[in-house]
Amino acid sequence: MNYKNITINERCCIANFLDLGWSIRKIAKYLNRNASTISREIRRNSINGKYLAHIANETYLNNRINCGAKGKSSNYKLIKYIEDGLNKTWSPEQIAGRLRLDYKYDKSMKVGFRTIYRWIYKNTIAKGDVKKLRRKGKSLKSKETRGKFNIGKSIKNRPKDIRKRESLGHWELDTVVSSRGKSKACLSTFVERKSRYLIAQVMDNRKSATFNLHCFKAFESISNELIKTFTVDRGKEFAGYNEIEKILNINVYFADPYASWKRGTNENTNGLLREFYPKRFDFSTITQNELDVVVNTINNRHRKCLGYKTPEEVFAAT
């Protein structure tokens, strides 16, 4: 049976029964408690040999306020780890999970993600700067209006083991655009399904020929063993998929129209990029080196879905 703290009513009963001369065992039996529990309660909360119920309850409440992780907020090493993680755009959940890996046997370096949120909101850490908390997700109000085509291999014919993320080498591809009419510049994104490892390129436009050039450049340093299939949507930038299949010797699969969840890995990762490049950002204003810094940050951010390892760690473990 799970232990239950003694209630204020039980404390009043203990005080009254002691005044009546009851033994500890008789009190314990009446309250359906262990005799050692009653003995310990009386010993801890007696003043000059007199048990006082209201003093016992005040002591209990004060102990509750000061218990748990609160004392850890004075642990400089722990606070520095958390604040460093926030500066690296890690979420409190990612920080808490990674702490369990990095300090497996050190209880002083373990804290729950809810406590981290509470510390931030109470101005205990990070000077209460809630802007350090990541914003995730994307707007679902806009619909895709650009041209599409209906040829190529359907995602329905893609081997089921790819969906189950059983091996490395299966990628999802997409583009992230600037604000409509503001600039033709965009990003090409390539995300490995199992590791969530990201590659991204700055492109001048979304023409299929431009995309193919950037695709080949993105994978020129990747081993052929880690390039097995691509999954894309039916945007016109993927119209040159035949050239990709021929040169890389892989199959390119197409998700159904308006079914972005079938490429959820890539959609989620594009959302992570939007933390750094929000809607209406003009991608013509950044360089590839600047983008590489952001991609490196994302690839070295711990993920709950990876057991709090990083995409870099999982992708490199081949």
For residues 134 and 9, give the distance between their C-alpha atoms in angstroms, rounded to a whole number: 46
Write down the pTM of the prediction: 0.64
Render pLDDT for 197-254 as a digit per residue (tens, 0 to 9).
999 999 999 999 999 999 999 999 999 999 999 999 988 899 999 999 999 999 999 9
pLDDT computed for residue 286 by the predictor: 94
Q: Is 57 helix (H, G, I), strand (E, B) or coil?
A: helix
Strands (E), 70-185: 153-154, 170-177
Name residue 271's amino acid: G
pLDDT computed for residue 81 by the predictor: 92
pLDDT computed for residue 69 by the predictor: 53
Consecutive 10-residue averages of pLDDT for the chain (318 residues):
75 90 92 91 88 83 60 82 89 90 88 88 78 57 52 88 92 86 85 96 93 95 94 91 94 83 87 89 93 96 93 90
